Amino acid sequence: MIELYLNNLKDISSVAQQFLSKVEGKKKFAFYGKMGAGKTTFITAICEVLEALDVASSPTFALINEYQTLSGEIIYHIDFYRIKNSEELYDIGIEDYLYNDVYCFIEWSEKAEEIIPSDFIKVYLTEEADGIRKIQIHA
């Protein structure tokens, strides 16, 4: 397990760069954390470091946002928050997003953990009592 700490938002780009260097070569991530833990904010920062051409935003209502990077890579940003069961995901063809060689970041992974492939890296975000965010990476 790898731990990173985000002391304040002005350091988020640096922590996102550290994150990517620690998981070098990996592209599949399942994020866990309570509401307000910073999942969307951190994924947005990672997308910026990856040079996404669009500004990443929460896919809560769209379920899946797709971004392209300056180098032409694809990023899928998926949010399971609103799903009721994994059947809903199969109905939209979730397999097309999970089984490929592109970046994939899933928020609220615990809502459909049974469909997430085993090669996804689990990332846990927690807010400490002093407001610092702890990011635990389980490879």
Does residue 85 or residue 120 have the better pLDDT? Answer: 120
pTM of the model as a whole: 0.92
pLDDT digits (tens, 9 = 90+) for 82-107: 888 888 888 888 999 999 999 999 99
Q: What CATH number corresponds to the domain at position 56?
A: 3.40.50.300
- The Cα–Cα gap between 38 and 53 comes to 22
Q: Which domain holds residue 33?
A: 2-138
Number of domains comprising the chain:
1
Residue 124's pLDDT band (cuts 50, 70, 90): very high
- The Cα–Cα gap between 8 and 29 comes to 23
Sign of CA dihedral 34, 36, 38, 40: positive
